Structure 1
Amino acid sequence: MSDQLLPDDYSVLLQDLKERIRTTQVRASLAVNRELIWLYWQIGREIVLRQQQQGWGAKVVNRLAQDLQQEFPDMKGFSTRNLKYMRSFAEAYTDEQIVQQAAAQIPWFHNCVLLDKVKDPQERLWYIQQTIQYGWSRAVLTCQIESSLYHRQGEAVTNFEQTLPPAQSDLAHQLLKDPYNFDFLSLGKEVQERDLEKALVNHIREFLLELGVGFAFVGSQYHLEVGGEDFYIDLLFYHLRLRCFVVIDLKMAEFKPEYSGKMNFYVSAVDDLLRHPDDQPTIGMILCKSKNKAVAEYALRDVNKPIGISTHQMQGLPETLQSNLPTVEQLEMEMNAVSLEVSAQEVEA
């Protein structure tokens, strides 16, 4: 049928149906995942019980894997290795309610990553909840675990309780980490603040991942004019959940009390010049190489703008190796060249 003969509301109906189908597909996929993980837990529990009561050994588990694979050749989850994960899964989660309400809400291989890398039950449950809330892929989950995100949440020194409403204060405090991990940067020990800022902007995707969900990049060296004078903010973000601007000041030295005064000025200026009436109060973040907690707490005690003080760390490489290794920019150029060459070969083929 010609597009000209279609009803006027056809495109609207089509779009609505597409969204309904996609939503149903997602729900069906999640339901299948929950049922599959519930099945895996039950299999794992049976193995655990028989190992405890009847002394099942590895040979019996191997035979069970072979028989299940033979009976269900189209299902790929019955390898010996996966059966061992099922057993570990049942051992890790003895409470059926936790399985159904938490572990079964994320994909199976996410659970396998958690079994391998996180031994503390409370910490494991926290990562599950974060994965559900933010939709982390397995790669992102692995990265967050390896960077010890759980132990870095809410560790920054702040004055949020005194300067923000309770709900905003709690959320803002949870979102700040200490330290921030900048291992994705290839920088030497003598790096200057502008070098760090430039590197973070060049690797904004990794930087946003480290900052956490909700940060939207506004600009670097963001210009503000106050009283006819020019001022420049190192990094300016907007947080979508907090509904506020976030000012970041980078320091390559230990925290000094005067840093809080400068940040207080920046936050006040952003509140007056950029903040929309519907926005929440602007938040300042000072990222230093190190900090004395007592000094930081005194520096924020009587400051009336919400400010957090955290540290950043970079593992880096020995200086003797750094000069012999390509930079990230050089590697990216090489990867682009390879991609173009492969694309050209595919076209010729």
Structure 2
Amino acid sequence: MDIAMGQNDLTNINNVVYQKLIDNITTLWGEAKSKAITAVNTELLDANWQTGKYIVEYELKGKDRAEYGKQLLVNLAKDLTARNGKGFSRSNLVYMRKFYLAFPICETVSHKLTWSHYFELLKCDNTLEMQFYYTESIKECWKVRELKRQMKSCLFQRLALSTDKAGVLALANEGHQVQTPQDIIRDPFVLEFAGLPKQKRYKESDLEKALKDHMEQFLLEMGRGFAFVGRQYSMQIGSRQFKVDLVFYHCILKCYVLIDLKRAEIKHGDIGQMNLYLNYFKTEVCQPDDNPPIGIVLGARKDELLMEYALEGITNQLFVARYQLYLPKREELQAQLDKLLDEAEQQQ
């Protein structure tokens, strides 16, 4: 009996030690793989940048640079592929060249991003837009698919249209700064990921459920700092019960954010209802170290003049904004932004 107990104890000790051995080796190889991936990415970026530099410097020696450069890339793609295998298509060489031209100083290339990030960034039409997505990708640790989505949703243009020329330049150089309640508002919010067809009739509860089911994408659209608290948050006020569609806590602004969804046009009564919710939260929910809550009434349409009168005199942080269930047309937003910048230039 004692011998059996002794063997069991030894087995248990051996199992603990053995599991520790497995854990140590697993951790070792996990860290090694991570370091290897980082090293490979660094070398790949440096090689792509250097290739672009070689191409540009060689082109400068040509006489008819436009035609010369075009034929050069065709010849390079063929000859480099024959000698080195895949990875040297004309398209790749074009982007390596653009990579060097966009980042002529090697030290400005951040190794926190991958070549796939830069490949998407180089599709931007202007420097301000590319600089914004470059900065935000680093700050927010966007994956490539997240970067592509933000670019498709024209995040830069949507944010830039809500500011002036100085704000556009700051947006490009510093990324999106969240310092005031106004900084979390987009107009419109783009909710294409909800999967509700543009023409299909849907209920507000359908939209609410779709946002809850796609919370990761919704948080990406909302921007940094949001933490989901709950859906259909219940409030008992007197003998009546009220529910707000979505509640978040903003970790940067240190306050609750309440969102009420409206399938159609926002009505003036919706403003009063949200104001009621905000007053309740200030008194019953917020802690002493919380800032006043923010309310957003989110609808498919809004009448600007009606909303101006409805919001007059309200001291709470209450905003109205539109949403759309499809990606915006980039050309239209860019045209509006170009007009804004041109008007700012003329006023100087």
Name the TM-score, length of structure 1 as normaliser. Answer: 0.70
Give the Cα–Cα distance (whole angstroms) in 1 for the partners of residues 219 and 293 of structure 2.
Answer: 18
Could you tell me which residue of structure 2 aligns to residue 177 of structure 1? 186
Give the Cα–Cα distance (whole angstroms) in 2 for the partners of residues 91 and 139 of structure 1.
Answer: 24
Give the Cα–Cα distance (whole angstroms) in 2 for the partners of residues 185 and 122 of structure 1.
Answer: 33
Q: Tell me, yes or no, if structure 1 residue 78 matches structure 2 residue 84.
A: no
Contact 2:198–2:326 (CA<8 Å) still a contact in 1?
no
- Cα distance per residue 1:266-321 (max 9 Å; x no partner): 122123333344443321111122234455455445322222221011349xxxxx
Could you tell me which residue of structure 1 aligns to residue 345 of structure 2? none
Identity %, equivalent residues? 34
Could you tell me which residue of structure 2 aligns to residue 120 of structure 1? 126
The number of aligned residues is 298
- Cα distance per residue 1:320-346 (max 9 Å; x no partner): xxxxxxxxxxxxxxxxxxxxxxxxxxx
Name the TM-score, length of structure 2 as normaliser. Answer: 0.70
Moved more, 16-25 or 59-68: 16-25
Residue 251 of structure 1 aligns with an amino acid whose one-letter code is: K
Q: Tell me, yes or no, if structure 1 residue 61 matches structure 2 residue 73.
A: yes
Contact 2:229–2:248 (CA<8 Å) still a contact in 1?
yes
C-alpha spacing 1:290/1:70, structure 2 compared with 1 (3 Å): same
Could you tell me which residue of structure 1 aligns to residue 56 of structure 2? 48
Give the Cα–Cα distance (whole angstroms) in 2 for the partners of residues 177 and 287 of structure 1.
Answer: 10
Please give the residue correspondences for 1:1-349 in structure 2 after superposition, counting only pairs within 5 Å: 4=13, 26=34, 29-54=37-62, 55=65, 56-69=68-81, 72=84, 76-98=86-108, 100-101=109-110, 104-116=111-123, 118-153=124-159, 170=179, 172-183=181-192, 184-186=195-197, 188=199, 190-293=201-304, 295-315=306-326
Secondary structure of the residue aligned to 1:170 is coil
Give the Cα–Cα distance (whole angstroms) in 1 for the partners of residues 37 and 271 of structure 2.
Answer: 49
Contact 1:215–1:239 (CA<8 Å) still a contact in 2?
yes
Residue 137 of structure 1 aligns with an amino acid whose one-letter code is: K
Moved more, 292-301 or 244-253: 292-301
Unaligned segments of structure 2, at least 5 residues: 1-9, 164-176, 328-348
Residue 126 of structure 1 aligns with an amino acid whose one-letter code is: F
Residue 131 of structure 2 aligns with an amino acid whose one-letter code is: L
Give the Cα–Cα distance (whole angstroms) in 2 for the partners of residues 217 and 33 of structure 1.
Answer: 34
Residue 79 of structure 1 aligns with an amino acid whose one-letter code is: S
Give the Cα–Cα distance (whole angstroms) in 1 for the partners of residues 322 and 215 of structure 2.
Answer: 18
Q: Compute the RMSD of aligned alpha carbons.
A: 3.6
Secondary structure of the residue aligned to 1:153 is helix
Residue 38 of structure 1 aligns with an amino acid whose one-letter code is: D
